[in-house]
Amino acid sequence: DGGITQSPKYLFRKEGQNVTLSCEQNLNHDAMYWYRQDPGQGLRLIYYSQIVNDFQKGDIAEGYSVSREKKESFPLTVTSAQKNPTAFYLCASSIVPGQETQYFGPGTRLLVL
């Protein structure tokens, strides 16, 4: 089955801790994206990558970091600098940036202990 997987489904972060959210795709897509969704709101772009070993900041990149060492994988680290990390995080991919629809994973809900 082709698709996007995100893990874990739920993640708990302690004060001052860095946590990493996993995103993997087997669709052979070049572009990958990370979004944050807060209750009752639309999605906001955190980071995106159009090709391996390259990525750009989105609208709310502060307190987050990413890597793109493999085409299939685009992990997101929520650092201790992100003071309000509680949200629903969604990963997406597309064949080429912008020209086709984006396919979304099932999401990771991050909660702060």
The residues binding other proteins (CB under 8 A) are: 4, 6, 33, 40-45, 48, 58, 88, 90, 92, 97-107, 109
CA distances in angstroms from 13 to 6, 41, 82, 83, listed in the order given: 17, 22, 11, 11
Comparison of 6 and 82: residue with beta carbon closer to other proteins: 6
Comparison of 60 and 80: residue with beta carbon closer to other proteins: 60
State the maximum Cα–Cα separation within the chain, in Å, rounded to a whole number.
40
Comparison of 16 and 42: residue with beta carbon closer to other proteins: 42
Q: Minimum distance between the CB of residue 16 and other proteins, rounded to whole angstroms?
A: 28
